[in-house]
Structure 1
Amino acid sequence: MATICNMGAEIGATTSTFPYNDRMMEYLQATSRGFVADYADKYRSLLKADEGATYDQLIEIDLNTLEPHVNGPFTPDLATPISKMRETAIKNDWPLQVRVALIGSCTNSSYEDMSRSASIAQDALDHGLKAKSLFTVTPGSEQIRATIARDGQLKVLEEFGGLVLANACGPCIGQWDRRDIKKGDKNTIVSSYNRNFTGRNDSNPETHAFVTSPDLVTAFAVAGDLGFNPLTDTLKDKDGNEFKLAEPHGLGLPTNGYDPGEDTYQAPPEDRAAVTVAVSPTSDRLQLLQPFKPWNGKDSYNMPILIKSKGKTTTDHISQAGPWLKYRGHLQNISNNYMIGAINWENEKANTIRNYYTGEYDGVPETAMYYRDVKHQPWVVVGGENFGEGSSREHAALEPRYLGGFAIIARSFARIHETNLKKQGMLPLVFKNPADYEKINFDDTIDLIGLTTLTPGKDLKMVVHTKSGESWETELTHTYNAEQIEWFKAGSALNKMAESHK
């Protein structure tokens, strides 16, 4: 049986072979969700493995021996233990100076996280030190911001040199007016965010972004050095005396409960039919949405492949953040970033694909619009493993639907992106034989057969037509349930909801 490490969002880490525990109950009660705790407690005896259950693999993790790691740069998949960080950075020519240290956002911004970071900051202040790096603090919610303001942690972080940002995504998704460097400057930042793909935080491809715990981020801010190991290394206080940072500490739950903060919710009017939303037709940031067309009830034939992406294709590759976020309310404009970060399998370039009909190279959005507006032909995208991993941004599914896409065919999907595609009426389909990804060429066309009898668990047939005139076929799997199939037929989940309310 696998040992489970329950990382409660605001209660800290507990280790258990039982998926439900008293500390989680305390957290739910403290956050006004006691009814959930009571319901789970009622069925506590059922929340465990069946007697005699067997598992393919036994994983045991002794957290007492688990060394802190730093992940990156450019991907959360690359992990380096803190004891090896300096030599690894030097070997790979990663800048050792930490220009900016960032804690918070939706990830790693619990009361305990903020308290532990504040304890490190206070230790530094007691020795006459402040942050050497620029240091930003993004509370994960208004409740957290208000509670740490009341309890004093926020004041400590500010005295340490911290800049408190809004309770929002902020630099995690590129909403960052960064001014300490110029685009193209090679530099290192460290955050406790959940993603660190190239250019994600500040739109600078030369920013080496690392992710780690709020504790280590704060320690890096004190030292200003990526090679600093707070477990073994010393610092010099204001008088030149050496000292080691004390072990961080913090309560899992606030002693005086949570402060809900300012309530900014505005309830909609009871008579919504009387409300008209006025949007300027010349606005480049706002645009009223139009319903997508429902499925035509037929199988789809001769669809060109817009792009066969190579390697990792995250939602940052599919729909970039940063400066593009100002267009979130304008589907037409934000669709101009669709797949511009994905690597084209044919030429290993980004945003340079060959138009199937003209043979000319152009950007991905421009080619998609040509297929949609000139040829009136739906298209497909072919991708690899875990297609759509990363942030769960809906525009990564809205954009291909708006641009005339019909299906995304991949080796596998990130779960949330797969569901988002379904909600917008796109078909996320998986190669039954993963090796078929290699057989497909960028200039093939695709038929999808079996849509008229689409049912849960029933495979679809894909017929691939090559440029030479030969054809081959294979099977595609899907994870649609009955309700999701109705979304596809209606053209989107929103269309289906509108139908049911007529």
Structure 2
Amino acid sequence: MTTIDTFGAKGTLEVGDRSYEIFRLSAVPGTEKLPYALKVLAENLLRTEDGANITADHIRAIADWDPSAQPNTEIQFTPARVIMQDFTGVPCVVDLATMREAVTTLGGDPNKVNPLSPAEMVIDHSVILDVFGTADAFERNVDLEYQRNGERYQFLRWGQGAFDDFKVVPPGTGIVHQVNIEYLARVVMVRNGQAYPDTCVGTDSHTTMVNGLGVLGWGVGGIEAEAAMLGQPVSMLIPRVVGFKLTGEIQPGVTATDVVLTVTDMLRKHGVVGKFVEFYGKGVAEVPLANRATLGNMSPEFGSTAAIFPIDEETINYLRLTGRTDEELALVEAYAKEQGMWHDADHEPAYSEYLELDLGTVVPSIAGPKRPQDRILLSESKVAFRKDIHNYTSDPEGTDAAATPHSKLDEAIEESFPASDPAELSFADDDAVIATAANGSTGRPSKPIRVRSAERGDFILDHGAVAVAGITSCTNTSNPSVMIGAALLARNAVEKGLTSKPWVKTNMAPGSQVVSDYYEKAGLWPYLEKLGFYLGGYGCTTCIGNTGPLPEEISQAVNDNDLTVTAVLSGNRNFEGRISPDVKMNYLASPPLVIAYALAGTMDFDFEHDSLGTDKDGKDVFLKDIWPSSQEIDDTIKSAISQDMFRKSYADVFKGDERWRNLPTPAGDTFAWAQDSTYVRKAPYFDGMELEPAPVEDIKGARVLALLGDSVTTDHISPAGPIKSGTPAAQYLDAHGVERKDYNSLGSRRGNHEVMIRGTFANIRLRNQLLDDVSGGYTRDFTQDGGPQAFIYDASQNYQAAGIPLVVLGGKEYGSGSSRDWAAKGTRLLGVRAVITESFERIHRSNLIGMGVIPLQFPAGESAASLKLDGTETFDIEGITQLNEGKTPKTLKVTATKDNGDKVTFDAVVRIDTPGEADYYRNGGILQFVLRNMING
């Protein structure tokens, strides 16, 4: 609670028969003109003013905000709560448990390590789609999830009992961000008699989905989230705010996903990294809450910190629909109006920059094949695919196999490659190009491969085949318009006699159980199931790489013949190597289009001119023939979705099913670590830590662990996806007696740093330019003669044993992506002391500092290539010791010495942007800083 009220802002707000303490913004001149998001920050400072970290000058700085100025004023933002998913949340709880032991070792009270604000975790990232296309897929996948993750879940149940204000939503409930907007979000928080805006930070970058409800929140690394849980404010600069004006209405046939991909494209081109985006204008009232949440969700894809909608009548309607009480609704409306936070369509706040979109101009789109901002008009998708596929295969240009009737292809293949046994799996020759079956050359590489499967029949696989069609992820599965639209399209397709292609792995993983309820009520499940879209789980599956294995014969055909197959998913991330190790090209699309592509079976498809099949009368069926009308979607939503569904789903949300309740739960204030556990191990960050930090030192004689190009994402860096046999992570599990079938995913083992270090920088699509034409987690090990190729982990261990520090060199936009926490933790534990790039994405830069790694940038206009650095040099970085004197230098002198003694010298820009970040770096990381303060305080 604040002890200072310089502006006399403290007062009461009467709502019904209740009275709340609030801090009125009207007490501070200037706040009335601020954008909504900055009003939330202003209230936060006003309420937490303490005269030291948060002063009257900070409050005046935000009230006097100059929209045109570049950010230069640091503030301390205190989020109301922390939200976590289990992949990133398990390491948080591991670290908190380890901190309790460290406090004890240093003579403190372990019970001081406790969340000081509510922390909630939703277990949604561990379900893998092992089973699909069957009625029992959900139950079998959940059973497998518990078998694999029992240790982790027992640990989380211990944490729920050991820590105050920490709650866990059990597996099989829904996706964290959907559970957040449907249940956990308060919009206006009430705690200790105070009412104030609900704000949050989360351990998942798509925490911004809650921005659609008017809740200011964004994703941070797990290390920052842990600090926030322990009462440490988030250090930030007062940001620039981009006003995004919405006008017009979405046209029939256009989905919320199309709007999102259009906005993502616009904002990426405009440049919003580190900025807030705020939607305003008369068009805001026309945007349903679910569409707002979809837009907020994609904030990391445009690069902004947040993408927020103010509170208005639509917010209240959604809160009512999702089962919030009348008392809560009354408070949200009264508070927002009292504080000037209620959206006024006729008032235009001052913004730093302006964009505008007429929703009526949006057209159907997809994005791919490897970045969410690479939007493609659906009408041009076939042409774009044919252009892009040349980057993924060296096969010669071939035939229009996808448009050739399969009977002709079959004839041509049988003629050249007769199969002796129809039941036997067989493949055509690697170099087969079926020219005799062609309708003419199209400039598209072709490699038709015949697959014979007892289960799926005989079919032809070619480049571009859709191997995965996933309705999944938080972005769209909270949105009834696209989910109902997909189900109605499925119904229309079935009624026309269409089926999904046999090589497509179909996935339906709704964001909450409410989706199943309204599908059931609308009678739509049977049609989805007829096309193979059975319920696979309530969780984040395809979008984070929990796709599960492709059917064995398809995987074998793809890998033996180096086929470039594709995935289409209703998600927000499509980075290389993320969705499936067998799939090279990934496309984001709306849920209805996911089903359409399952019917088409290939990305080499033009929905306007190519037929999806024929009806019972032999008439061609096109996408337009099965696309549901906007009116039918709206009518179905109104008749199928009710408030009771939400209240029923969330009545006992923390209780869990019988599997959860029957897990044996350890007890005690500190956790009893199992020495043989391969899932949960005591973290090493506090080993040997002293009460006072050692002085920081310059870096001398460093070697390059990796030389990387542009757009290297945290998904390239962070351990994620399946564990491949023969890799260092697999070798570790082998040595600990884990069978290959029980490897599980890297994400599920985030509580074990030994596995995670071995999976860092190990993405199969990573290209380390120290090596020629090699993909994956490899580098050159210069502790050995000649610097031979080695696994990055193995080389790192050799460097650390020899006392040689490491650096990483990168290009532009280093560290975008969602896998935040371990991208920084793994980097540090591999012995990397500095990362030098052309530019950083916001969260990864701050997370590197939070782990004691210094982020540096090449001088403007320079790069590793322009400076002729090839990664074989040794690096000296001078000037870091200035931080010991309380100074943060603007630049550091970097000297790279080549083998022949030639030197390349440049001044690297120091990207420690705030005094708070300097404190973290001096302490060796944010957790060490918090721990020392906790003991000393």
Category of TM-score, reference length = shorter chain:
0.7 to 0.9
Give the 3 Å change call, closer, same or farther, for CA 331–441 of structure 1 in structure 2.
same
Question: Residue 99 of structure 1 is aligned with which of 467, 472, 494?
Answer: 467
Q: What CA distance in whole angstroms lies between the structure 2 residues aligned with 1:125 and 1:317?
A: 40
Question: Residue 256 of structure 1 is aligned with which of 638, 642, 652?
Answer: 642
Q: Equivalent residue of 2:932, what SS?
A: helix
Q: What CA distance in whole angstroms lies between the structure 1 residues aligned with 2:532 and 2:539?
A: 20
How far residue 234 of structure 1 moved from its aligned partner, in angstroms, is: 5.3
Q: Equivalent residue of 2:475, what SS?
A: coil
Equivalent in the alignment of 2:767: 343
Question: Residue 682 of structure 2 is aligned with which of 266, 272, 288?
Answer: 288
**Max Rg structure:** 2
Equivalent in the alignment of 1:164: 535
Matches within 5 A, 1:400-415: 400-415=827-842
Equivalent in the alignment of 1:388: 815
Give the 3 Å change call, closer, same or farther, for CA 192–430 of structure 1 in structure 2.
same
How far residue 122 of structure 1 moved from its aligned partner, in angstroms, is: 1.9
How far residue 387 of structure 1 moved from its aligned partner, in angstroms, is: 0.8
Q: Are the aligned partners of 1:98 and 1:224 in contact in 2 as well (CA < 8 Å)?
A: yes
How far residue 385 of structure 1 moved from its aligned partner, in angstroms, is: 1.0
Q: Are the aligned partners of 1:298 and 1:451 in contact in 2 as well (CA < 8 Å)?
A: yes
How far residue 445 of structure 1 moved from its aligned partner, in angstroms, is: 0.7
Q: Are the aligned partners of 2:487 and 2:592 in contact in 1 as well (CA < 8 Å)?
A: no
Select between 379-388 and 1-10 the one with higher mean Cα deviation.
1-10
Computed over aligned residues only, the root mean square deviation of the Cα atoms, in angstroms, reads: 3.8
Q: What CA distance in whole angstroms lies between the structure 2 residues aligned with 1:197 and 1:496?
A: 34
Q: Which structure has the highest helix share of the two?
A: 2
Q: What CA distance in whole angstroms lies between the structure 2 residues aligned with 1:396 and 1:216?
A: 33
Question: Residue 3 of structure 1 is aligned with which of 245, 254, 268?
Answer: 245
Question: Residue 369 of structure 1 is aligned with which of 776, 792, 797?
Answer: 797
Give the 3 Å change call, closer, same or farther, for CA 288–233 of structure 1 in structure 2.
same
Equivalent in the alignment of 2:574: 196
Give the 3 Å change call, closer, same or farther, for CA 149–40 of structure 1 in structure 2.
farther
Matches within 5 A, 1:135-154: 135-142=506-513, 144-145=515-516, 148-149=519-520, 152-154=523-525
Matches within 5 A, 1:31-430: 31=322, 32=324, 34=329, 39-41=335-337, 42-44=339-341, 53=350, 59-90=355-386, 92=389, 93=444, 95-112=463-480, 113-132=482-501, 133-142=504-513, 144-145=515-516, 148-149=519-520, 152-154=523-525, 156-175=527-546, 176-179=548-551, 180-182=554-556, 184=559, 185-204=563-582, 206-230=583-607, 235=612, 236-243=614-621, 244-247=625-628, 249=630, 250-251=633-634, 255-257=641-643, 258=646, 259-261=648-650, 263-264=653-654, 273-281=668-676, 283-292=677-686, 296-302=694-700, 303-324=702-723, 325-326=745-746, 327-341=749-763, 342-348=766-772, 349-350=774-775, 351-358=777-784, 359-361=786-788, 362-372=790-800, 374-430=801-857
Structure 1 alignment gaps of length 5 or more: none
Q: What CA distance in whole angstroms lies between the structure 2 residues aligned with 1:29 and 1:458?
A: 52
Structure 2 alignment gaps of length 5 or more: 1-242, 247-262, 264-278, 280-286, 296-306, 390-443, 446-462, 724-744
How far residue 416 of structure 1 moved from its aligned partner, in angstroms, is: 2.5
State the Cα deviation string for residues 150-198 of structure 1 (Å, max 9, x = none): 6655554334421322222222222212214325243222111222233
Q: Equivalent residue of 1:307, what SS?
A: strand
Q: What CA distance in whole angstroms lies between the structure 2 residues aligned with 1:384 and 1:365?
A: 22
Q: Are the aligned partners of 2:883 and 2:922 in contact in 1 as well (CA < 8 Å)?
A: no
Give the 3 Å change call, closer, same or farther, for CA 150–128 of structure 1 in structure 2.
same
Q: Are the aligned partners of 2:487 and 2:524 in contact in 1 as well (CA < 8 Å)?
A: yes
How far residue 434 of structure 1 moved from its aligned partner, in angstroms, is: 4.3
Q: Equivalent residue of 1:157, what SS?
A: helix
How far residue 66 of structure 1 moved from its aligned partner, in angstroms, is: 2.6
Give the 3 Å change call, closer, same or farther, for CA 388–18 of structure 1 in structure 2.
closer
How far residue 11 of structure 1 moved from its aligned partner, in angstroms, is: 4.1
- Matched residue count: 497
How far residue 449 of structure 1 moved from its aligned partner, in angstroms, is: 1.4
Give the 3 Å change call, closer, same or farther, for CA 67–229 of structure 1 in structure 2.
farther
Q: What CA distance in whole angstroms lies between the structure 2 residues aligned with 1:14 and 1:399?
A: 31
State the Cα deviation string for residues 400-435 of structure 1 (Å, max 9, x = none): 111222222222112222233233332233334240
Q: What CA distance in whole angstroms lies between the structure 1 residues aligned with 2:320 and 2:857?
A: 42
Give the 3 Å change call, closer, same or farther, for CA 397–69 of structure 1 in structure 2.
same
